Amino acid sequence: MKKILVVLHQEMSSPGRVGQLLEKTGFTLDIRRPPLGDPLPETLEDHHGAVIFGGPMSANDRDDFVRQETDWLAVPLREEKPFLGICLGAQMLVKHLGGQVRSHDEGLVEVGWYPLRATEEGRQLLHWPEMVYQFHREGFSLPSDATLLATAEHYPNQAFRYGRNAWGIQFHAELTRAMMQRWVVRGAHRFVLPGAQPGRDHLGGRLIWDTHLKQWLVAFLDLVFGGGTDVRVTAGAEAEAQRPLGRAKVGRRGLV
């Protein structure tokens, strides 16, 4: 069972580096796009786990597929299969667990690179990057019985773990260079929102902070999905499989 269910929300959306790294680790990707009519499986018995990515919609929207995806999260939780929610996916998980998704009280957004602080619980799991890439204007409350792993100034709930198998992160570590360039072009009208950064800072920040973000993603995906093979990411290569290294050595509203 080396198949990962990947849920995307637009025709041209990509799982990016998450997909690359999972494939390099030996998984195959079962890609579904519910807004385009793709069904979600009634069980994950044929899958190792699942990832729900972000999108331009809100977890509060009334679209049928938003409600269906949110309700569907009972499947990985019940079957204890590894689940990762990214941005919208994390917000859906929060809604499923009875939490809230809402905008900042002062209307601030996170669009660009922003500091991240790991909690003590987060630091016990792995080393976290100091800066992460964000593209959202809604955040979420911390679900009851969830463990907060990372926090930030304006949106304090940035990463959490629920139970043994479910994880949610607000930020985006999955972007390849090409993906970020598309986001900067197509999302340029968002850069005037309160707290957003200009496009040049998105691309410039990538040169400074993205290598650490890639290294974190490698360790994090191994933690979530336990693929058994670490993937070493080097600057200048989006994803490159290397020999096994051993895990013990690894110390909204969505807008795109």
Residues recorded for the chain: 256
Please check whether residue 17 is in contact with residue 214, taking contact to mean a CB–CB distance below 8 angstroms.
Answer: yes
Integer Cα distance of 1 and 21 in angstroms: 17
Segment 132-143 shows an average pLDDT of 97
| pLDDT tens digits along 33-89 | 999 999 999 999 999 999 999 999 999 999 999 999 999 999 999 999 999 999 999
Write phi, then psi, for 132 (nearest 5 degrees).
-135, 160
Residue 48 neighbours by CB distance under 10 Å: 19
Structure token digits, residue 75: 């499947």
What average pLDDT is seen over the chain? Answer: 90
CATH superfamily of 3-249: Class I glutamine amidotransferase (GATase) domain (3.40.50.880)
Integer Cα distance of 252 and 9 in angstroms: 15
Structure token digits, residue 122: 């987060």
| pLDDT tens digits along 231-250 | 444 444 454 433 333 333 33
Res 237: pLDDT: 46
Integer Cα distance of 36 and 50 in angstroms: 18
Segment 185-194 shows an average pLDDT of 95
Structure token digits, residue 45: 């018995």
Res 196: pLDDT: 97
Residue 17: pLDDT above 80?
Answer: yes
Integer Cα distance of 143 and 161 in angstroms: 9
Segment 206-224 shows an average pLDDT of 97
